[in-house]
Structure 1
Amino acid sequence: MKCPNCADKNLGKIGVNQYYCWGCFIELTLVDGKLSLNQVEEDGSLTELDDLFQEDQLRAESNGF
């Protein structure tokens, strides 16, 4: 598994179908074969980053999930 944002393989599992990248500090959620990426803000809220990526970059199988 690798992060579609920074290509780091240092991912930790934080929940069911939820992962955290220790390389770029984003949360990844796997839903129906597609990754959803969120930046964790200082106050703990999440900012969606999906619009920064192309569809093929968010496909789970292309990232080893």
Structure 2
Amino acid sequence: MKCPNCQGKSIGKLSTNQYYCWDCFIELTLENGTLSLNQVEEDGSLTTLDDLFEKEQLEAKANGF
């Protein structure tokens, strides 16, 4: 399994459909066959990174997850 953002392999599982990349510090959520990527900010809040990817890219990357 590779991170769709940085292509790193340091992916940890947070819960059933949530993962975390220890290389680029993003949270990945898999819902209905689509990935959602969020950056974890210093205060613990999440900022979406989905706007950096096309919808088709997030769906295709979810298939490799």
2:62 is aligned with 1:32: no
How many residues align? The count is 63
Deviations 1:15-49 (A, max 9, x none): 11000001100000000000000000011000011
RMSD between aligned residues: 0.9
Separation in 2, partners of 1:33, 1:2: 16
Identity %: 73
| Structure-2-length-normalised TM-score | 0.90
| Structure-1-length-normalised TM-score | 0.90
Separation in 2, partners of 1:38, 1:16: 17
- 1:22 is matched with 22
Q: After the TM superposition, which segments of 4 or more aligned residues of structure 1 sit over 4 Å from their partners?
A: none
- 1:42 is matched with 42
Q: Which runs of 5+ in 2 are unaligned?
A: none
What's the secondary structure of 2:56's corresponding residue?
A: helix
